[in-house]
A and B are shown apart, each in its own frame.
Chain A
Amino acid sequence: MSTHHITVTINGTTYEGDVEARTLLVHWIRDTLHLTGTHIGCDTTSCGACTILVDGKATKSCTMFAVQADGRQLMTVEGLEQDGTLHPLQEGFHQEHALQCGYCTPGMMMSGLALLQRNPNPTEQEIRVGISGNLCRCTGYVNIVKAIHYAAEKMQAAEQVPVSAGEGGE
């Protein structure tokens, strides 16, 4: 079994390591890097519990080899909270009771994040399509839809604040 040296940035931190070619990305993240917020539910790219962002795109990390992540920017659920402030998605999931057992939640939030990054103001139907690759057995999705709406509104409001305060621009 060939091994490969990889360098991957996850949530802004650079990780390096030697991995077997067959090592699944989700196993490397969880078992080697101990970022256990990303879960495994089906092994067939069906349930989405392992969803992370790879270069900004929602990706099921059970169906990607660790070696394929070499040189790329990853984001996992652990990267949502910034400087002790919850991400609007995390806040929305809590406020709208969009989680029960919590197992699908990280993947669901990462799919929600990918959706909001390409569509900041989605309709209910667009949200349902956006999370259709993520299975939840507890919530019946109604409150997950509400939580993503909550985050969309909060993120849009936050974007407007600096502009109105005259601090816009990059």
Chain B
Amino acid sequence: MATEVHTHGLGEAYKRKEDARFIRGQGNYVDDVQLPGMLYGDIVRSPYAHALIKSVDTSEALKVPGVLAVITGKDLDAAGLAWMPTLSADTEAVLALDRVHYQMQEVAFVVATSRYAAADGVAAVDVEYEPLPVVVDPKKALEPDAPLLRPDKKDKQPTNQIYHWETGERAATDAAFAEAEANGVVVSQEMYIPRIHPAPIETCGCVADFHKATGKLTVWMTSQAPHAHRTLFAIVAGLPEHRIRIISPDVGGGFGNKVPIYPGYVCAVVASITTGKPVKWIEDRTENLCSTGFARDYHIKAEIAADKEGTVNALRVYTLADHGAFDAAAQPTKFPAGLFHICTGSYDFKHAFVEVDAVHTNKAPGGIAYRCSFRVTEASYMIERAMDTLARQVGKDPAQLRLQNFIKPEAFPYRSALNWTYDSGNYETALKLAMKNVDYEGLRREQAEKRARGELMGIGISSFTEIVGAGPGKHFDIAGIQMFDSCEIRVHPTGKILARIGVQTQGQGHETTFAQIIAAELGMSPDDVDVEHGDTDTAPYGLGTYASRSTPVAGAATAVAARKVRDKAKKIAAYLLEVGEEDLEWEPGRFYVKGTPAKGKTIQELAFAAYTNCPPYLEPGLEAVDYYDPPNLTYPFGSYICVVDIDRGTGLVHIRRFMAVDDCGTIINPMVVEGQIHGGLTQGLAPALYEELSYDEDGNVLGSNFQDYLIPTAMETPHWETDKTVTPSPHHPIGAKGVGESPTVGAPQAIVNAVVDALAHVGVRHIDIPITPWKVWSILKEKGLAAD
């Protein structure tokens, strides 16, 4: 045997490379960037949710010491930049011209020598508004006498309705429901998934630096998709793309919030071009919560047709989607409701039909995926809630009903009624493992005993299916750009590697896990592989990190690029060892001659030879690049079980246990995967019990800071328990599926199902999230269960 090569390859809990700078306070986030002569921008925002702008007077602001310029909508309009395209074929005001459409909309941009002077300038800008009627309820927005909220596009859209979209077979589904009404069971469940906000602890911001002499624009920017943003800047601003450099440095959490382009970025770029100086713009928390991409805001009616035993046949869903003032939903062009039509979930529905109506209201634009893949959270929540309602209706345990209806392991690849091809899955095994881990039968016995004593305990299940890793490029795009991704590997002469990827990390640990992929493919230590990302001047083009697409797409590109390196190394090995390529065997880190293991060359020796003794018939050097267009999405899944106790005096829900069994296919780094699951579960807990971005009837945002928009602290967050099954993706080069968002997708409904389960015996079938103590206490009071 050849020498054993130590590799930190797939499946090892390799400690993160990126930690070294973060634990020393040496990260480089956007607000850490300081350039000589840098100016600061701050934004004048509307206090009204809907108003006409009668005038914008900047004269007093320009007298404020340190204020150099105030850019208004009219100034931008003169340059053709007052409006910018959204990610959903709408246009959005960069700075409002004659009308504001939501509270905190951008009206003017003040440029000054310091943050404080800029804030002084903002306070001195005098804007005269004429308030207009406000619409915050999407149902009211559709009424015939509702004020038209977007008169700027009345020619192509005469009402507040943005689109009607439907998919599936209406006639076959309706027929299945008619049959179930005659001979089976039909359940119907209405639910509202409220507007929430990803709220990464770092807000959005940028430093724009335009050099007049060279014409080069560099923008350090909180961007989850730097290449796509570069292209959009080029298209919108008419700047030559090769002279735009977007650097997404260390990013303090994204969760979808940093996918869109916001007016502040555009204003900072305009200000830098205008002043010839670098301009920094950093949001405060209130600006972040009130004006940047929100998530969810879906009003859903779900209906299931089943037989009397609860075996499902058809699913019918109607959704009213509140998109706010501009349709800025970050969705692929083909799918205006994203991947919402994954909503048949883990169950073998024969028929399904889904309709979505999207409307404008006087709320902030957005519709991004808060740690989820294009509306899969809404889909999963809906079906897991509806399945529990069905279980109650047919008198079956929710676990039994799920086991009865799961897509069977042998049915994969599985074609769903709504036309998705699930790559692989084994739902029954995951649920049974979760049930075993919590002693499900024991919990049910305990619940019965407690109920007899008047104590309220509930057990909730969520057996979710995810759909992540967009492309394929022919179906998925951002603003027309196909959703492939990329990796470039450069093996240096001494065998050390610099790799660059088209995605970028906001905490997911790419610098570690992508090094592990390469290390495993080439049989070396991840210590010898550095991974760079986020700089469009150096990284290969990619579509960015969101929708759990890094590992499924760029991870695949990385494995394929490493295999290209290995293929070339093999040719060099054949030359050096004077044998044919077919006579060589690979073991981690080394090619050797079949039958003569001692005769071989390590990958490091082959790298050196690539630069010093390259075969004359090959190009010198050892580098490879791969642009990977995935053949399909990946379908991670899992089963979660949540156990809650409810305080009858206060209505407080206490999560006693939460068991998460996840299956993300091949695991690259179990430590990182577990960390992703912990974080995702916490962002599933958050909307279930705490987070809501609500508005009053005048359009005032009621969750405009972290004292009103409640993010779980260590006190509210339970000790998460995790376990796994491993069902590799058959089409991914290393079988990985992605995991970052599964727990956020799967967790809320496990918690809601547990709370409803605790109250099911008194007829409770649904409680809308967030399930606050007030909501629970009100139910306890109504049902005569509240303790004095």
Contact = CB atoms under 8 A, between A and B. Distances in A.
Interface of A: 20, 22-23, 27, 30-31, 34-44, 46-47, 49, 76-78, 80-81, 86, 90, 93-95, 97, 99-106, 109, 124, 127-129, 131-145
Given A23-B116, A42-B285, A101 B713 contact: no
Interface string B23-41: 1111101011010000000
Given A20-B116, A43-B284, A100 B509 contact: yes
Interface in B649-707: 671-672, 674-676, 678-683, 705-707
Contacts of A143: 675, 678
For chain B, the bracket of interface size reads 35 or more
Complex A-B, nearest 6 residue pairs according to Cβ-Cβ distance, in ascending order: A37-B25, A103-B252, A101-B507, A102-B22, A140-B678, A100-B507
B537 to A, nearest CB: 23
Interface string B9-52: 00000011011111111110101101000000000000000000
Contacts of B509: 100
Contacts of A99: 19, 22-23, 507
A100 B110 CA distance: 34
B203 interface: yes
Most A-side CB within 10 Å, residue of B31, B678, B707: B678
Interface stretch (B156-164, B634-642, B714-722): B714-722
Most B-side CB within 10 Å, residue of A97, A100, A136: A100
Contacts of A140: 678-682, 717, 720
A28 to B, nearest CB: 11
B29 A137 contact: no
B23 A142 contact: no
A105 B714 contact: no
A108 B717 CA distance: 16
Contacts of B508: 100
Contacts of A142: 678, 717, 719-720
Contacts of B706: 42, 44, 46-47, 135
A137 B256 CA distance: 13
B678 A139 contact: yes
Nearest to A37: B25
Interface in B712-760: 713-715, 717, 719-720
Contacts of B707: 44, 46
B771 interface: no
B720 A41 contact: no
Given A37-B25, A43-B285, A138 B714 contact: no
Most A-side CB within 10 Å, residue of B34, B284, B286, B679: B679
B65 to A, nearest CB: 9
A129 to B, nearest CB: 7
A22 B116 contact: yes
A137 B683 contact: yes
A27 B719 CA distance: 35
A94 B714 contact: no
Given A41-B285, A93-B23, A97-B672, 5 more contacts: A38-B25, A41-B201, A46-B706, A47-B285, A142-B720
B675 A76 contact: no
A97 to B, nearest CB: 5
A103 B29 contact: yes
Nearest to B507: A101
A101 B252 contact: yes
B711 interface: yes
B255 interface: yes
A158 B200 CA distance: 36
8 contacts: A36-B29, A36-B32, A40-B31, A102-B507, A103-B252, A132-B715, A140-B682, A140-B717
A154 B617 CA distance: 58
Contacts of A101: 200-202, 250-253, 505-507
A131 B679 contact: no
Contacts of B176: none
A38 B202 CA distance: 12
B688 to A, nearest CB: 14
B675 A102 contact: no
Contacts of A30: 31-32
B221 interface: no
B25 A36 contact: yes
Contact of A137 (B19, B20, B199): B199
Given A104-B201, A132-B714, A109 B23 contact: yes
A133 B265 CA distance: 31
Contacts of B672: 97
Nearest to B711: A135
B29 A39 contact: yes
Contact of A39 (B24, B202, B678): B202
B25 A139 contact: no
Given A37-B26, A43-B286, A100-B507, A94 B15 contact: yes
A39 B506 CA distance: 16
Nearest to A101: B507
A106 B678 CA distance: 20
Nearest to A128: B714
Most A-side CB within 10 Å, residue of B16, B24, B25, B671: B25
Given A101-B200, A101-B253, A103-B202, A132 B713 contact: yes
